[in-house]
């Protein structure tokens, strides 16, 4: 309870500090363009008087929390999530109405229009970007050296997941799928969150302890991309997923779920399907099939080709130009 209370206080305090900062900025540059990735930031920028607020929407909070809390049965948790969703949804709706809105996919465009109540409002779809100076493939010898440095297996394929440990990310399903993969491999989970303990129990129950590494969030995540053979995006809700772009820029093929009634993602809108194996249904069985297929394909896939295609499609500079209208 104390942790939750402190989290609320931190949210209020950080937004108060942001309000003061933006108010000072507005005094000196009232005509500046403000690019915001969070609804509180977009709304506060509007409230202090900025007229050119470009809100680049990462997700619709009301949709996100539904997927992140699937299976939660505690009355306290449900009530907490209801209040949290009410606050964020109210703020996000106001941010959408007051700002120039940019999204990464048709999926996000539809969700934003529904939330704002503005119907077919002219939200602009832009392509996301990735840092090609940070995420790129390396030669095989360097990969092997990195594996040794990071204490990773060098004699079997490496499967990588990067993301928050919440229900919507589908890591529990990925752990179950790993037990069904029919070839030796090692899973690397990089992240943190409330589901960590349940993942650890699932790994132990499936007797996978020797086949899974759990790594807390870290700055040099690009080294793990360079070591990996494939990346799995096991999410059931993902408006885009920056980690997908980082994977492609690093030359890695992807495994993901196809969009369906239980999966709401934009992966199929990226134009990178040549390098993706899709699980046909939202199940650990079909996920294991897709992982097997991608592991077999990864032996012959050209990592440099994947990386160059990603850099061609996803540029930070092009995104910046789209947002500021250069």
Confidence (pLDDT) at 61: 82
To the nearest 10 degrees (0 to 180), the angle between helices 171-178 and 284-298 is 70
CA-CA-CA-CA torsion for 84, 85, 86, 89, nearest 10 degrees?
130
Q: What is the pLDDT of residue 14?
A: 92
Mean pLDDT, residues 93-100 taken together: 95
Residue 120: predicted pLDDT: 62
The tokens for 307 are 């990386």
Q: What pTM was computed for the model? A: 0.85
Q: What confidence category does residue 266 fall into, taking pLDDT thresholds of 50, 70 and 90?
A: confident
Is the pLDDT at 158 greater than 70? The verdict is: yes
β-sheet bridge partners, residue 264: 237
Place 1 in a pLDDT band, splitting at 50, 70 and 90: very low
Report how far residue 174's alpha carbon sits from residue 1's, in angstroms, rounded to the nearest whole number: 31
Confidence (pLDDT) at 67: 62
Segment (H or E) for 2: helix 2-28
Confirm if 287 and 255 have CB atoms less than 8 A apart: yes
Burial code (b: 16+ CB inside 10 Å, e: under 16) for 11-35 equals eeeebeebbeebeeebeeeeeeebb
CB proximity list for 183: less than 8 A, separation 6 or greater:
157, 292, 295
């Amino acid at each position: 309870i104390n942790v939750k209370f402190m989290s609320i206080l931190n949210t209020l305090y950080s937004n108060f500090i942001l309000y003061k900062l933006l108010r000072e900025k507005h005094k000196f540059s009232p005509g500046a363009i403000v690019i915001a990735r969070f609804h509180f930031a977009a709304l506060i920028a509007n409230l202090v008087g900025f007229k050119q607020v470009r809100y680049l929407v990462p997700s619709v909070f009301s949709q996100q929390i539904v997927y992140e809390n699937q299976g939660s049965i505690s009355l306290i948790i449900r009530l907490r999530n209801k209040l949290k969703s009410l606050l964020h949804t109210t703020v996000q709706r106001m941010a959408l109405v007051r700002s120039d809105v940019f999204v990464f996919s048709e999926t996000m465009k539809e969700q934003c229009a529904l939330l704002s109540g503005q119907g077919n409002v002219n939200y602009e779809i832009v392509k996301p970007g990735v840092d090609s100076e940070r995420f790129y493939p390396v030669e095989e010898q360097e990969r092997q050296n990195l594996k040794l440095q990071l204490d990773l297996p060098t004699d079997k394929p490496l499967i990588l997941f990067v993301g928050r440990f919440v229900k919507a990310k589908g890591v529990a399903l990925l752990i179950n799928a790993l037990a069904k993969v029919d070839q030796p491999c090692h899973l690397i989970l990089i992240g943190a969150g409330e589901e960590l303990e349940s993942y650890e129990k699932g790994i132990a129950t499936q007797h996978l302890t020797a086949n899974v590494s759990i790594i807390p969030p870290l700055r040099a995540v690009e080294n793990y991309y360079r070591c990996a053979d494939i990346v799995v995006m096991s999410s059931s809700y993902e408006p885009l997923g920056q980690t997908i772009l980082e994977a492609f820029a690093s030359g890695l093929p992807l495994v993901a779920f196809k969009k369906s009634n239980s999966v709401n993602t934009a992966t199929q809108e990226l134009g990178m399907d040549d390098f993706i194996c899709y699980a046909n249904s939202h199940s650990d069985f079909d996920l294991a099939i897709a992982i097997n297929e991608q592991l077999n394909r990864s032996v012959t896939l050209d990592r440099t080709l994947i990386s160059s295609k990603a850099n061609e499609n996803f540029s930070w500079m092009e995104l910046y130009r789209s947002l500021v209208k250069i």
